[in-house]
Structures are given as structure tokens and as C-alpha cells.
Chains A and B, each alone.
Chain A
Amino acid sequence: MEISEVRRDFEREVLEVKSLEQLESLRIKYLGKKGIINELFKKLKELPPEEKPNFGKEVNSLRDFIKTLLEEKKKEIGTGRKRERIDLTLPGRFYSGGSIHPLSLIEDEIVDIFVGMGFSVVYGNEVETDYYNFTALNTPEDHPARDLHDTFYLKDGRLLRTHTSPVQIRVMEKKKPPLRIIAPGRVYRVDAFDPSHSPVFHQIEGLYVDRDVTLGDLFGTLEEFAKRVFSPDTEAMFIPSFFPFTEPSAEMKISCPFCGGEGCGVCQYTGWVEILGCGMVHRKILENLGYGDYTGFAFGMGVERIAMLKMGINDIRLFYENDLEFLEQFK
């Protein structure tokens, strides 16, 4: 019997082995006392002396080969734990997370951008006084700008802040410039609950006061923000506006995130959408706080607005209805 023939037979037979019992009989057939390998060793004695060393080497190597393959086969079959075939297509015992509210996701994203530019996060109270919400922001009792804010009042005479801007005053009263803060939070206005209005919504206020802060700094910072929150090719445009607590004041428009400026329903075919109001902190406010030597910029943006533009959500009420089918789309 030729060695190569034995090898071939073994290779074929080992493939057919399905159980430990079959494996054992195969082992006996080849490696047992009266097995094929021992038969070959017996044959060795009959060979002429010059062929012995070579033949011996080959038989040894065949024996090692068979041993190794039998070991592998044994591992493959297993240690004897009995397994039955399972239906791999049944659904798993599902482990999953919940969801994060889209307004939280966007707020976090915006906060991260400004934190990356050196801003710190602070919070203000939702119940405010008339003084901090209006008067200290250069909007005295008879100012027509108050008409733009339909205010919720409390019976004790205080009010629910109509914007996050009171935080500007609160922070500046406590801490001297240089100051760089952003203040996310909930704000309130008496507004119908319709696709674009909600009596409760969220804003993020920004404030940077230092020596020689310029309008150019404001525009540059916000342009950078827009590129990061929307896309690097977003363009920013500033148009003059009016807020009692900033001078000069501006509104920022960005190239429409939906059509990229081509014109679509979202941007009313203008190619631009308005996303926030901003300006240089009004001189009167800085002087009232004793910071006449400083300049600063401030901005305020609606979180819902940014979220709607970024995620393509067309009804602000979805954020407050909290339908799980809506919420589960955000992770």
C-alpha cells in the first residue's frame, strides 16, 4: 500500500465523520494496534536498508497528520454537549435603547459648536420679572416692541420669560467681562398652537462681551456656526433689523438647507431662510451695568426653528405631541 494512497483514503473518510463514535472507529482503523499505520511500520522491516530512513520519515509524518486531523475533527464535533438544530429565523429577545427628543439632540449639537468656540453654558429661570425680561433690556413699559411679545403673566405680577435674553443681564450683573456664554432654555409666548407657533418653545442665547468685540466678530462667529450646524457650504447673509437691546441689530439668513439656494417652498422661492436675530449689546445696557469700556455681541435663536429646518419637520406641534412613532425616529 502506498503512503500517498493511505493519506488520500483518510482524508476522504474523515470528511464523512459525523459523530464521536465514528471518529473513534476511524482512529482505531488507522492508529489502533492493528491499524494501518502499524501495518506500514511492519512493512518497514521488509524494505532494503537504503530505503528505510526515507520511508520511516514519511510514515511518521503521515501519523502526525492523522493525529492532528482527528483532533481538529473532535473539536469540530464538540465536547459531547448535545445540540439540536434551532430555527435561526425566529426573532431575537430584543434589547434596545429608547430615544432622545429631537429638540435635545439639536440643542446639544448647537451647544457643542459654541462650546468648541470657547463659550460656557449657563441657565436662567423661566419665571422672570418684568424688569429682567423687558426694562433692563432697554424695553421700557411704553415701548412698542413689547407688542411683539405676547406675555404670560403670573398672578403675583411676575411673568414667564418671552426670550432667553434676561440671562444676559443676570450673567453680567454677577460677573465682569470678559464673558462668553450661551444659555439654552424654555420660553413662553401667548400664541395659538398651530403648525408654526407654540406657546412653549426653546431658545439659545449667546453673549460675548470683551474689549473690542466687533460686528465683524458677530457675523463671523454666526457664519461659522451656520456652516457647522447645517453644512460647510452654507452661506450666511445679514440684514439690518431692530431689537431694543442691540445696536446695530441684524437678522441672519442662510442659504436654504433644502434647495441650497435654488428656491423651494420652504424658503418661499427666495433661496434664503431666516434663522436668528443678533446684534451688538446696546450701549445703554453696558453702561447701566458699569461696563462702558467694553463692547459685546448677543444673539438668540429658536431651537425648534433650527430643528425643523435641519430635520425637515413641518409642524412645530409634533415636538410637544410626543407621539412615540415620531420620537422613535431620533436616537
Chain B
Amino acid sequence: MRVIYSWLREWVDFDFSPERLAQVFESLGMGVEAIEKDGDEVIYDLEITPNRPDLLGVIGIAREISAYTGNPLKRTIDFELQTGEGIEVEIENPDDCPRYTASVVSGVSVRPSPDWLSRRLELSGIRSLNNIIDVSNYVLLEMGQPIHIFDRESVDRIVVRRARDGEKILTLDSVERELDHDILVIASSREPIAIAGVMGGELSGVRDTTKDVVVESAFFNPGVIRKGRKKLNINTESSYRFERKADIGIVHIAQSYTVKLLKEVCGGKDVSPMVDTNPDYRKGVYVSLDVDRINRLLGTDYSKQDIEETLERLGFEIQTDKVFVPTFRRDIELPEELSEEVARLKGYNTIRRRVRTVVNEVAVDENLTLRKFRYVLEGMGLNEVKSLSFMPSGFDPSVKEELALANPMWPDRTVMRTTLAYGMLKIAEHNLHRGRPYVRIFEVGRVFRPEEKTMLGVLVAGVFPRRWFAHEREMDFYDIKGIAEGMLVESGLEGYRFVEGERQIYEKGFSLDILVDGERIGDLGLLKQDIIEMDAFFTEVESEKLLKNFLKKSEFKGVNRFPFVKRDLSLIIPQGVENSTVIGIIREVGGFVEKVDVLDVYTGKGIPEGCRSITYRIHFRYPERTLRAEEVEEKIERILDKLKEIDVVLRQ
């Protein structure tokens, strides 16, 4: 809402500088978006909250300044039309249109507006068209009440009714619109001539040759206007006010004021009596006044008298234990809303502030867990990222049910992510394009499968560049497996294992599922993708399952003081036998094997075609005593015997 300083001064006295006035607006709850100067004029662009339609007119803002300063409004509309028989008005349903006034002004002549009128409109952001339309807009700006003016020739009588399905109207913006029963129209005997409260019809509008006009000032049901204009996808100054609930009490005043201006500015001569379908508009709306409750909610100790005076200044009428709510403040329905009025006028910043401290419940919450684990990942050298939550449909074939957006923002990202992989790949793409040799990133975020789960994802891709102490090395499967293993160890989970996975976001044969107690908690592998040229390796784990023991206190298990006995075995392993099988046998047969390291994997010279040589270092240890060499030798013999059964032999 744009409001002009000098226009406001016509309505109420105040001695604020333009800058000080801006502060007053803010303290009353009108945000100042901008202050503009144009010649001698100062214009404010105010942000009016949707509950305050009364502030969408100069008069409403003047009332607030009046309440703030205690200076009364100094203008009144000193011209009031007589009501009586006039143009025929029929209201199909008073719920849709609780009040309608109309009068006929004859003998107007359509001309450009005088300067004072066109300048005020233009400073307020409305284009000047001709004197008749400008008058209606002027009243809208000053009173906050939308006015519509018809050419008398197209209006034999006025019917306010719902449109019939399929009815059409050509609106002022030269668009033909199809109507239906959700849309309220103003009609003549023949056809709709306006979309009520939203936009007039082109054929019934004022034109250069117009002589006699019908002035409409009405109050329409806010919900009906909103529904209709949304359906038609139009938003006008008029619908904006009606759907926020205009002032039913100003309808006839605005009507009179319009007619007065039509006479003064447009040469209007004869005026018919005003038809008013609801002169009884001032139906009582009362809100109970409970001083104690107001103080309790605000944390204040205002006296009863103080509160009553404050409310009176805002236009409320005090009646012992209740207040009458003026028609322009029908946003007020509850006692709490009165407390806001009191606090607002007293000044929010005069309320004594207090901090209460209370001991909260002891809880090991998800927040603390995730936050600490983020630092574990950070410590591994990973960079945390946050990607958007949308991905292309079909990116993750492993999830059957996708949550599709009805109104996606990007045509290629139409579903909620079921994996963090897509967003992280896009981030990898960005950074690799920017010339980074590699990325190692992690994300903590929700996926939708379709139930929401918080996942931890890690993605690595690219090449570690050469250094004076290290060769250039492309990241591979074992980088991501190592990170996953690190995460599992750090999480404190015990008894995890890997089995070959099937999840279709990975290349077949290049993925593992992570199992804990037989339950799949995540997976890892080489992504099947064409977003980046390099291989991208990814792991994704359900945080709730991974981190269920993370914050539990560690248990001391004692320190084994006896030394390890270490033995290295270089084995020749035929095709088809995997490392895990060999280690399984070593552990099973070896008895007190504490650890098996893989020292070397080798193929080539000296190794039979199709075979691999793997060197293991086996750490034997017994918890109660030092192992004797011959005990270890005996175990080694038994391991080798057992391995022979699967054709694994010692390398000579």
C-alpha cells in the first residue's frame, strides 16, 4: 500500500518528520518497504498484513495515527446520499453479498482528470485513465473501499448472483472468461456485466460517450471472492481488499463520496436516491474484555482504565465487560486479539522482558548424535554439502514408490529424492568442472522411500594428484569401502558385515550391502551414472540404525598384556576363491586369531595363469598366557591343510 504523507495530513494532525513517521508506522505494525520523494511529496510503501484490510486506505492509516497521537480525525465526509427507490437491485443470496448500494448519476462527461487527481493516483501507483475511473480509484485509495462504475445504458437492473456454468464475460482486460457456479457476478437482465468484487466487464464499462453512470459500492463475502478470483487466476486492487474482508460500515459513505466527486469533477448533475440492500449493517460484534487475562498474556500490569482508554482510542466502544468492535476492525474476534491491540498501542518495546530458565529433560537426542558424527566425517577429511531434495524420476530404480511433485520447479527433477546420490553427483559435477581434481563429500539429509529417513551419504570421485611423496592415484572402490568401514567402526556398531549387493543405483557386481544382525542398514558401490565422466563411488547408510550405539558410553574390556605372535603366509589362490573365504578359514581353523591383515595382492610373474597371490599377516594371541611357537606352528599346519581343500596353496 502506497500512502502519501500530505494526503494523510488532510485527515489527521501530527508533527512527525517523514523519517519519524516511518518509525511510527513500524511500531504500529506497518512495515515500511520504501520511502520515496517526488517533488514536495513523500510517499511510503507500506507492507500491510493480511488481517488488516482497513489499512488499505488512507482513512484507515489516519485512524491508526489518530489513535497513536490522540489527535482526532479532522475530516468527515460531509455529504450523504438519501436512500430510497432507485435502480432495481436483486441479491440472489445475502451470504454472498451482505450489502449492496447503488445510485445513478446522470449527465457526466468523460474527460481527462484534473491535475491534483491524476497526480495523487500516480504517486499512489495507479495509472490515470479518465475522470470517472480515476474517481472510483481515488475513493478506493482514500476509503479502502472498491467502487465500480457502470455505463447506465448496459444496466437495466442489477442482479447479484452466481454465474451459470458455461456463461461467458469479456472483462476489462479484453479477455473472454468462462464462468461457473463458484463465481459471483453482477448481471443485468440479459448477461453478466462484472465479476463481482474482482473486475468489470468491458461492454458495460465507462466509455468516451458515456453520459449516465451507475455507481456500485458493496460488501462481498471474502471467501467467495477469493475462491472465484483464484479460479479465474486474477488479482486486482478490488479483489485484494474484498477477500481480506472490507469494511461493511463504509459502503454507503464511499458511495456518497463517489457521487460527490462525480458531481465536482465529472460534471454529474442529477443523482438518484441510493439503493441500500442492508441499511442495518451495524450488527453487533462484541468481544469480552478481561483485563486480567490481557495482563497475564502480555506479562504486564495495566489498569482497567488504561486498557479501556487504549481500546477506545482505536475505535472500540467499551460496554462494561465487553467491547463493541467497529465495522472496520472485524479482524478482532477474540480477547487475545484485544491484547495485541493494547500491546501494539502501548508499544511492544515497553513490555518488560524476562528470561525464564528451566531444566530440560535429559535426552540423548538425534540432534546431538548427528552433530557429533558429522565431526567424525569431517575428521576423515570429507566436506559436508547440502543438496536440494529433488531428483529425476527413475534415477533410483531400487525404490518402487516415488513421491512425485504436482508442481515441480525444474522439469528434470520431478520427484523427492530416494537417495542422496543424485544431488551429491551434481555437486561433484560442479566442483570437477571448476577444476578440482577430486571430491570427497558427505551429506546428512532426508530421503523419501516413501517414508522419510535420515541418511548419511558419502561420495568420492576423481584423482589424487601426484605429490613428491606419492603417485597420482584414481579413487576406486576400496576408497569408499574404507570410508564405510571407518564409519562403521566409529559408530560403535558391532558385528557388521558386507554381502554383495543388488541395488540398482550401482553397477552390477560393484556394490555391497551393509548388514547388521541380518538387517540391511546401507550399501556402497560404484554408481551407475552419466553425470560425471569419472567413476563415482558412493555409500549411503540409515543414520538411525548406524548411530544407535554412537553416544552410548564405551565399555572397558581390559587390556591384553600378552604379546602377539605374527606369521606371514603367501598363498596362491585360484580363480573363483575370494579373500573373505580364505580369511574365514584362517579365523575358523586358527583358533585364537585376533587379526588378519592383507599385506599384498599380486598377479603376474611366478604366479600360475588365472591365480592370485595374497600375502596375509596373521596375529595370534591368547588372552591368558604367551603362546608357544609350536602351538602356532601347529595351527598354521592345520590352516594350510584346510586351505588345500579349496586348492589354496602356499607360495614357494
Contacts and interface: CB of A to CB of B under 8 A. Distances in A.
A239 B26 contact: yes
Contacts of B405: 152-155
A120 interface: yes
B389 A126 contact: yes
Given A100-B378, A283-B334, A327-B384, A242 B52 contact: yes
Interface string B385-401: 11111000000000000
Given A126-B389, A241-B49, A242-B49, A190 B409 contact: yes
Q: For A103, A152, A216, which residue has the most chain B Cβ atoms within 10 angstroms?
A: A216
Nearest to A252: B348
Interface string A102-142: 01100010010001011111110111000000000000001
Q: Contact size class for A?
A: 35 or more
Interface in B318-377: 334-337, 339-340, 343-344, 348-349, 351-361, 363, 365-368, 371, 374-375, 377
Contacts of A100: 374-375, 378, 384
Contacts of B363: 120
Interface stretch (A47-55, A65-73, A90-98, A165-173): A90-98
A273 interface: no
Given A240-B29, A242-B50, A127 B440 contact: no
A118 B348 contact: no
Given A126-B389, A239-B31, A239-B348, A247 B298 contact: no
A35 B299 CA distance: 97
Interface stretch (A11-19, A21-29, A180-188): A180-188
B430 interface: yes
B284 interface: no
A280 interface: yes
B468 A324 contact: no
Contacts of A328: 383
A203 interface: no
A114 B375 CA distance: 21
Contacts of B50: 143-145, 147-148, 242
Contacts of A215: 297-300, 339, 343, 348, 351
Interface string A220-239: 11011000000000000111
A48 B557 CA distance: 74
B258 to A, nearest CB: 26
Given A219-B348, A239-B348, A248 B339 contact: yes
A238 B344 CA distance: 10
A143 B223 CA distance: 8
A97 B349 CA distance: 46
Contact of B407 (A103, A152, A247, A295): A152
A214 B409 CA distance: 41
Interface in B284-311: 296-300
A319 interface: yes
Contacts of A219: 348, 351, 353
A260 interface: no
Given A127-B452, A144-B244, A212 B355 contact: no
A17 to B, nearest CB: 35
Interface stretch (B161-169, B190-198, B431-439, B602-610): B431-439
Given A125-B452, A283-B336, A101 B384 contact: yes
Contacts of A115: 360
B403 interface: yes
Given A142-B222, A240-B348, A247 B360 contact: no
Contacts of B408: 152
B534 to A, nearest CB: 16
A116 B259 CA distance: 64
Contact of A217 (B354, B380, B403): B354
Nearest to A223: B353
A5 interface: no
B382 interface: yes
Given A142-B222, A190-B409, A214 B386 contact: no
A127 B448 contact: yes
A119 B354 CA distance: 16
A76 interface: no
B127 interface: no
Given A100-B384, A327-B383, A322 B441 contact: yes
A321 B408 CA distance: 19
Interface string A173-201: 00000101000101010100000000110
B385 A121 contact: no
Contacts of A154: 403-406, 416
A218 to B, nearest CB: 9
Nearest to B341: A248
A104 B371 CA distance: 8
B27 interface: yes
B365 A216 contact: no
Nearest to B428: A322
Contacts of B388: 199-200, 320
A99 B385 CA distance: 9
B427 interface: yes
Contacts of B344: 240, 248
A250 B352 contact: no
Contacts of A284: 334
A9 interface: no
B381 interface: yes
A323 interface: yes
B49 A98 contact: no
B260 interface: no
Interface string B434-475: 101001111011101010100000000000000111100000
B427 A322 contact: yes
A328 B441 CA distance: 11
A91 B467 CA distance: 10
B148 interface: no
B226 interface: yes
A118 B360 CA distance: 5
B497 interface: no
A184 B49 contact: no
16 contacts: A90-B468, A98-B383, A101-B384, A101-B386, A104-B371, A118-B360, A127-B416, A160-B416, A184-B367, A214-B297, A223-B353, A241-B31, A242-B29, A248-B343, A322-B387, A322-B427
Interface of B: 26-29, 31, 49-52, 222-223, 226-227, 243-244, 296-300, 334-337, 339-340, 343-344, 348-349, 351-361, 363, 365-368, 371, 374-375, 377-389, 403-409, 416, 427, 430-431, 434, 436, 439-442, 444-446, 448, 450, 452, 467-470
Nearest 4 A/B pairs, CB to CB = A214-B299, A216-B299, A240-B29, A248-B340
